[in-house]
Structure 1
Amino acid sequence: MGTPRHHHPLRRRAGQLLGVAALAPAVLLTAQAGPARAFGTVSAFGQHAEHEAITRAALACAPGTRSDGTCFEPRSLDQLAGHKGTFGAVGAPDTDEIVVPAAHCDNADFLATPGYPRDRADATRQLLACITKLQTRFTEGITAAGGTVAADGKVVPGENDLTKDCTFTLGIGGRDKCEAIEGLGRALHGVQDFYSHSNWTDKAADGPLGKDNPPGLDRPAPSPLLTLGTGRPPAASAVPADLTTGCFSLLPLGCARHVQHAGLNKDTGVIDPATGATSGPTTPRGKVAGNFDRAVHAAVADTRRQWADFRAALTARYGKGRAETIGCALTHDAPARDCAPKS
């Protein structure tokens, strides 16, 4: 990756870098070889690169067609979604934020039963912390995107070069297109995980409700809670009373009395990257009442919504003409050729 011309907030501080670098081998091994705790990022260990498939189903241009701004051409999509041997921007949190609950919307668990170890207010605070983090990532992407196009409105070739894959981990600086895609991708990861890790689209299994069978909200997507482009978290009152995500802990009994990630997630199964069609869910909750399919289709729908909102945020920040050129640069594989300035 080339050296950045200027600093973006997406890049972590040097002190954080050292800490992450020291932790990275163990974390990456956990992400790849341990039980899935998010839609999958690799095609192994029971995962089927679910994040990649969702992102491709949502944002890939039709084969052989140029982008109209709503979709990503193949090489640019490879950076966002990942491809064989890479995590892509959407998978980046599973390389260096695997134990950061807010990156995956974990630990906002709640059950309306006496003595539950987390009250509604605390669960809501945990959820809003996730949404705030995703909004920060989204905004970082908007900020970085400005460097893809010069002040005169022309594409900056070096900042959009995809001869080599982008690097999206360990705070390594890079080309502005890469950094813009990273901000968007990290935001999309959490958005997609929200549907897998929560009961937003779920139906509960038959039988008594409880921590091992929490209620399902059976709500449509996109969720109004995830309007990242506003830069403001939703009001606590907007969070449904029975909304829960799963408790995740590396300690064996850390979530023993909670609604657990292992029991609530819909992380793994087969997703057609062209259509989003699903089959073969493998988690207990995912096998119930089409829950995996609903979570995936919700994630696809919200991924499209987030990209539309990202483009709207570009316009709000940079003005219509420059924003259209920036959007073109992010989605096209040859932006220096294809993206003339907009007046």
Structure 2
Amino acid sequence: MGNPRRHTMRRATLLMGAAALTPAALLTAQAPSAQAFGTVNALGQHAEHERITRAALACAPGRPSDGTCFEPRSLDQIAGHKGTFGAVGAPDTDEIATPEAHCDNADFLTAAGYPRSREEATRQLQACVAKLQSRFREGVDAAGGTLKADGTVAPRESDLTRDCTFSLGVPGRNKCEAIEGLGRALHGVQDFYSHSNWADKAATGRPLGKDNPPGLGLPAPSPLLALSTGRPPAAADVPRELTTGCFSLLPLGCSQRVQHSGLNKDTGLIDPATGATGNPATDRGRTADNFDRAVRAAITDTRRQWTDFRDALTARYGKDRAATIGCVLTHDDPARACAPKG
């Protein structure tokens, strides 16, 4: 994403602006994220979070949902659409300065004298996973409220006549609350692959170091992001050379550390139907097809998390109620589509 000082200024501007905006204004503001896959079509971003989520979760055009994919209006809520961030983009409106929401600051190098230990980096990664697990759990908790006590659809809690509001803790319909929990969890999961070296490769012909950390080239989904378990990964399961980037609002806050600006693969073009990528815009993203690696990994793990979310609904509410809840979350007219047959 280019100049790290410019990133800091962008992020500081968005942080101050988000504090002053009303929830309604946040839904229409096209403010940039300076530290994640993009959420808007401006300032070098191409709504990367939205496009990843659409590629992962959309039903085929004209096909009704079978409970595993999202119909268009429901997909708009989780992925976002023109003028909105969607649930997956919500952390870029009100958790901009929360590193755990984006899996930032879990940086480490094996080089002698690196200013953070492996143990410190692992604790920060565990805090990120714990944060995402709490969001995942919030979504499962809220999903139960989409049904009445008798197991039928609660129409007022599942209506999408109006877009959901996902920013600044504004309460909403239970379908919106469930989608928000899942979407905020997905944001951090997707950022993990952009902000870390889990799936990428280092540049050849350059020495390894803070400006060119090693790439692990590992597959997705990462076992570190098993959100449905409710348990952060054990320290022994974290690869020793795993690193994410350090991000700070202070100009020298990440001095001598692996920086977000040098490791991220945040921006480029993504086909929202197929997930095909092009025109990576960051140095690390242009190296060894790393932008494509990050996007494909994010799509794969987004699908894993949605599968695990449905399994968590079954574990929490039982098979029949969970099936109806899944229908409500994925269908645009659940009062009709998810009503008892016969």
The whole-number CA distance in structure 2 between the counterparts of 1:324 and 1:24 is 40
Q: 2:7 is matched with which residue?
A: none
Map of 2:8 onto structure 1:
none
Residues 80-119 of structure 1: pairs in structure 2 closer than 5 A: 80-119=78-117
Aligned residue among 152, 155, 158 for 1:157: 155
How many residues are matched?
323
Per the TM alignment, residue 235 of structure 1 is displaced from its structure 2 partner at its CA by 0.7
CA deviation string 1:109-155 (max 9, x = no partner): 00001110000000000000000000000000000000001121100
Question: Residue 236 of structure 2 aligns with which residue?
Answer: 237
Change (3 A) 1:150 1:20: farther
**Distance change (3 Å), C-alpha of 1:276 and 1:97:** same
Q: Which runs of 5+ in 1 are unaligned?
A: 1-18
Q: Is the 8 A contact 1:321 1:341 kept in 2?
A: no
* Contact 2:106-2:125 at 8 Å conserved across structures: yes
Alpha-carbon distance in 1 for matches of 2:180, 2:282 = 29
For 1:83 and 1:90, the matched residues in 2 are separated by 11
Q: Give runs of ≥4 in structure 1 deviating > 6 Å.
A: 19-22
Are the aligned partners of 1:51 and 1:189 in contact in 2 as well (CA < 8 Å)? yes
SS at match of 2:286: coil
One-letter amino acid of the structure 2 residue matched with residue 40 of structure 1: G
Structure 2 residue aligned with 1:144: 142
Q: Say yes or no: does 1:287 pair with 2:286.
A: yes
Q: Which runs of 5+ in 2 are unaligned?
A: 1-14
Deviation of the 1:102 alpha carbon: 0.1
Using the alignment, how far apart are the partners of 1:25 and 1:172 within structure 2? Answer: 13
In the aligned structure 2, how far is the partner of 1:132 from the partner of 1:24?
29
Quote the offset at 1:240 in angstroms: 0.3
TM-score with structure 1 setting the length: 0.91
Change beyond 3 A, Cα 1:34–1:62: closer
Distance in 2 (CA, whole Å) between partners of 1:87 and 1:48 is: 12
Structure 1 residues 156 and 21, CA, compared in 2 at 3 Å: closer, same or farther?
farther
1:340 deviates by 2.9
* TM norm structure 2: 0.91
In the alignment, the residues of structure 2 paired with residue 131 and residue 301 of structure 1 have an alpha-carbon distance, to the nearest angstrom, of: 17
Aligned to 1:178: 176
Question: C-alpha distance in 1, partners of 2:37/2:30?
Answer: 12
What is the distance in 2 between the residues matched to 1:20 and 1:68?
42
2:299 corresponds in structure 1 to 300
Deviations 1:200-228 (A, max 9, x none): 00100012100000000000000000010
Q: Deviations over 1:288-317 (max 9, x none)?
A: 000000000000000000000000000000
Q: Which amino acid aligns with 1:277?
A: A
Give the letter for the 2:332 counterpart: D
User: What per-residue deviation string (whole Å, max 9, x for no partner) do you get for residues 219-248 of structure 1?
Assistant: 000000001001111111100000000000
Give, as a single letter, the amino acid of the residue that structure 2 aligns with 1:46. Answer: G
Name which of structure 1's ranges 228-237 and 175-184 shifts more when overlaid on structure 2. 228-237
